Amino acid sequence: QTTSTIADEGRQRLAAGPLAVSFDQVAVQYEKERDFALRDITFQLAAGETLGLLGRTGSGKTTLTRLLLRLVEPTSGAIHLGATGVVPSALPLTELRRHIGMVTQDVQLFPATIRDNLTFFDPTVSDETLLAIAQRLGLAEWLTNLPAGLDTQVGAGGQGLSAGQAQLVAFLRIGLQDPGLVILDEPASRLDPVTERLLDQAIGRLLQGRTGIIIAHRLATVQRVDKIMILAEGRVVELGERAVLLAQQ
C-alpha cells in the first residue's frame, strides 16, 4: 500500500521525548505470490536506545524502517510505539511523522536557498533557531561557511552539495523537527573526510535523548549503537547487544 491510499483515521497522541519501539512477529509481503520482504520480525527498543541494522542488499532493512512511518503496512504482526504501546495506525499520520524523523540515502532537496531547504519554506522559522540547532549538532561553522550562508542557493536535484553535505542538511531538518525516534539510512558512498567527521559528530548529538534505528554502512556508526540486528532474506539472523555480539566474534 502506498501513502496515498492508507487510512488516516487515528486519534491517539504520543508523548514527547524518546520513543520506545516494539515489533511483534511482523511480516511484510509487497505482492501476493511474491516472497516475503520481512518475516517474523520481533524486537524491542527501549526509549533512548539505538539499533544498528545490518544485512545484504535486499535483506529488508529499508522495509523495516518504512513500516514505522506507515510507508509500508505490515501484512501480519504488530508494531507498538511509546510507553503506552500505541499502534502506528492509531495515530494521525501528521502526529506519527512528527515524532519519527527519517533521513534517507537520497535526501530531497529543492532548488532554493539552504534556509528554505531547512524550513520547508516556513517563514516563521527564524535564522536564530536554525543557527541554534546547527550549533547543537556541531554544524554552525559548516553552515555559516557556505558561500552565502543560509542564503546559499541549492541547485535543482541538490546540485552544488555532495551526498554527505545533503545528509548534513537532512540532519539539520531533523534537529528542527525534534522527533523522539530518528531513522537513518546511511549513504553507502564514500564521503570526504571533513564531511564524514561532521556527520559523525552530528549523528552522536542527534541521537542524544532520542531512540535511533540506523542502517549503518560505516564502522564508526556501528560502534555507536546499543543493539545490532542482522537481516538475511527478510529474517533476523542475529540480534543482541553490540558489546555482547562483538565479544562472541
Count of residues that interact with Mg ion, criterion CB under 5 A = 2
CA separation for the pair 153, 230 (Å, rounded) = 40
- Region of 35-43, 59-67, 125-133, 136-144 interacting with Mg ion (CB under 5 A): 59-67
CB of 106 to ligand ATP, least distance (A): 11
Nearer to ligand ATP, 61 or 210 (CB): 61
CB of 136 to ligand ATP, least distance (A): 30
Of 168 and 229, CB closest to ligand ATP: 229
Question: Of the two residues 50 and 62, which places its CB atom closer to Mg ion in the complex?
Answer: 62
- The residue (of 39 and 115) whose beta carbon lies closer to Mg ion is 39
Name the minimum Å distance from CB 59 to ligand ATP: 4
**Per-residue cell: 202:** 552530528
Window of 27-35, 43-51, 55-63, 239-247 that interacts with Mg ion by CB under 5 A: 55-63
Closer residue to Mg ion (CB): 62 or 117: 62
Does position 62 bind Mg ion by CB under 5 A? yes
Give burial (CB, 10 Å; 0-12/13-18/19+) of 1.
exposed
Minimum distance from residue 56 beta carbon to ligand ATP (Å): 7
Interaction of residue 65 with Mg ion, rule CB under 5 A: no
Q: Does 195 bind Mg ion (CB under 5 A)?
A: no
For ligand ATP, the binding residues (CB under 6 A) are: 30, 37, 55, 57-63
> Given CA atoms 130, 134, 140, 142 in this order, what sign does their dihedral have?
negative
Residue 59 lies near Mg ion (rule: CB under 5 A): no
Instruction: At 154, list the grid cell.
Output: 541549492
Which residues lie near Mg ion (CB under 5 A)? 61-62
